[in-house]
Chain A
Amino acid sequence: NAGVTQTPKFQVLKTGQSMTLQCAQDMNHNSMYWYRQDPGMGLRLIYYSASEGTTDKGEVPNGYNVSRLNKREFSLRLESAAPSQTSVYFCASSEWGSQPQHFGDGTRLSIL
Chain B
Amino acid sequence: DAKTTQPNSMESNEEEPVHLPCNHSTISGTDYIHWYRQLPSQGPEYVIHGLTSNVNNRMASLAIAEDRKSSTLILHRATLRDAAVYYCIPIDTGGTSYGKLTFGQGTILTVHP
Residues of chain A at the chain B interface (Cβ within 8 Å): 4, 31, 33, 35, 42-45, 48, 50, 56, 58-59, 90, 92, 94, 96-106
A96 touches B43 (CB 8 A): no
Nearest to B46 among chain A residues (CB) is: A100
B interface majority secondary structure: loop
A98 touches B103 (CB 8 A): no
Q: Does B100 contact A (CB under 8 A)?
A: yes
When the two chains form the complex, which single residue of B36, B44, B91 contacts A98, counting CB atoms closer than 8 Å?
Answer: B91
A48 touches B49 (CB 8 A): no
Residue interface mask B17-54, A partner, CB < 8 A = 1: 00000000000000010101000001111100100000
- Interface size range on B against A: 20 to 34
Residue interface mask B57-68, A partner, CB < 8 A = 1: 000000000000
CB distance from A93 to the nearest CB of B (A): 10
Q: How far is the CA of A100 from the CA of B36 in the complex (A)?
A: 9
Contacts of A90 in B (CB 8 A): 43-44
Residue interface mask B67-81, A partner, CB < 8 A = 1: 000000000000000
Contacts of A33 in B (CB 8 A): 99, 101
B43 touches A48 (CB 8 A): no
B32 touches A98 (CB 8 A): yes
Contacts of B93 in A (CB 8 A): 97-98
Q: How far is the CA of A98 from the CA of B42 in the complex (A)?
A: 22
Contacts of B46 in A (CB 8 A): 100-102
Q: How far is the CA of A11 from the CA of B67 in the complex (A)?
A: 47
A103 touches B44 (CB 8 A): yes
Contacts of A50 in B (CB 8 A): 98-99
Contacts of A35 in B (CB 8 A): 101, 103
Q: Does B9 contact A (CB under 8 A)?
A: no
Instruction: Beyond the given A42-B102, A90-B44, A98-B93, please list 5 additional residue pairs across the A-B interface where CB-CB is below 8 A.
Output: A35-B101, A50-B98, A90-B43, A96-B99, A98-B91
When the two chains form the complex, which single residue of A31, A42, A45, A48 contacts B104, counting CB atoms closer than 8 Å?
Answer: A42
A97 touches B98 (CB 8 A): yes
Q: How far is the CA of A42 from the CA of B87 in the complex (A)?
A: 9
